[in-house]
């Protein structure tokens, strides 16, 4: 078995623990470049998330997130069995360009407000009528929570999907600690939030494009 090559075990473990709570069956893709390894995953609401950790890594492979988390918890150096065929999503071609800075505390507030709305509607209904929790959740995720307007381009819509991603993955840091600013980024048809502890990306289409199973894409 090849080694996983991750030196930033605590950072990788934090990413994987959050991911597997949201999706126990999620695959995770590891991509290594110059003594750093980026972990990539897709959340259940069609957002890609990534965190870079220290370590040469195994190259470009996909494994089970739960199996890798278990291996790191045991202190194993070996990589779990490869599951490359499970990765079916393109990646942004680059880190893109930052178009606006947003306080991480403001993003945390927006995420908490949406979660509160979901709980309230689930408990009390909408205008006195019962509403399915999934329908409310989907409507909230699609809601444009933030619009930023760069000085040299068109406005950029930031849906709640992205804000929930950086919040639920712990990328904003602790609520009681000033984690600094996050940045809204654009890369082609992708919109992202680069937060202090990771990045979330959403392709500007209804659904992420599915690519044929096989070797990894170049993206």
Average pLDDT on 26-51 reads: 96
* Higher local confidence (pLDDT), 95 or 37: 37
pLDDT of 208 above 50:
no
Which secondary structure element, helix H or strand E, spans residue 32, and what is its range? strand 27-33
In the chain, where the domains are located: 9-86, 97-203
Q: Which among 194, 203, 124 is positioned nearest to 157, based on CA atoms?
A: 203
* Higher local confidence (pLDDT), 135 or 200: 200
Q: Could you write out the three-class secondary structure of 127-196? A: CCECCCHHHHHHHHHHCEEEEECCCCCCCEEEEHHHHHHHHHCCCCCCCCCCCCEEEEEEECCEEEEEEC
Which secondary structure element, helix H or strand E, spans residue 102, and what is its range? strand 97-103
Fold designation for 9-86: DNA Polymerase III; Chain A, domain 2 (3.10.150)
pLDDT at 1: 75
pLDDT of 15 above 80:
yes
Q: With bands split at pLDDT 50, 70 and 90, how would you rate the model's confidence at 171?
A: very high
Q: How do residues 51-110 score in pLDDT, each as one tens digit? A: 999 999 999 999 999 999 999 999 999 999 999 999 999 999 888 999 999 999 999 999
Average pLDDT on 112-126 reads: 72
Pull the structure tokens for residue 144. 């444009």
Pull the structure tokens for residue 47. 């957002």
pLDDT of 206 above 80:
no
Average pLDDT on 126-147 reads: 74
Q: For 5-9, 13-17, 134-138, which range has the lowest pLDDT when averaged over its residues?
A: 134-138
Q: Quote the distance between the C-alpha of residue 167 and its chain's center.
A: 9
pLDDT at 216: 52
pLDDT of 41 above 70:
yes
pLDDT of 126 above 80:
no
Q: With bands split at pLDDT 50, 70 and 90, how would you rate the model's confidence at 125?
A: low
């Amino acid at each position: 078995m090849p080694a996983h090559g991750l030196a930033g075990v605590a950072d990788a473990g934090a990413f994987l623990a959050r991911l597997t709570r949201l999706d126990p069956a999620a695959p995770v893709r590891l991509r290594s470049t110059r003594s750093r390894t980026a972990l990539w995953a897709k959340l259940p609401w069609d957002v890609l998330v990534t965190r870079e950790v220290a370590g040469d890594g195994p190259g470009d492979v996909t494994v089970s997130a739960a199996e890798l988390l278990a291996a790191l918890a045991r202190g194993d150096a070996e990589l779990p069995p490869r599951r490359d065929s499970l990765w079916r999503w393109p990646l942004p071609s680059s880190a893109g360009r930052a178009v606006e800075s947003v306080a991480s505390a403001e993003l945390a507030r927006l995420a908490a407000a949406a979660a509160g709305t979901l709980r309230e509607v689930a408990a009390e209904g909408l205008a006195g009528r019962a509403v399915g929790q999934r329908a409310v959740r989907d409507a909230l995720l699609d809601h444009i929570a933030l619009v930023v307007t760069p000085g040299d381009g068109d406005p950029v819509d930031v849906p709640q999907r992205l804000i929930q991603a950086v919040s639920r993955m712990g990328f904003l840091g602790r609520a009681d600690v000033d984690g600094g600013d996050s940045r809204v980024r654009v890369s082609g048809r992708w919109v992202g939030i680069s937060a202090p502890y990771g990045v979330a990306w959403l392709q500007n289409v209804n659904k992420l494009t599915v690519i044929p199973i096989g070797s990894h894409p170049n993206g």
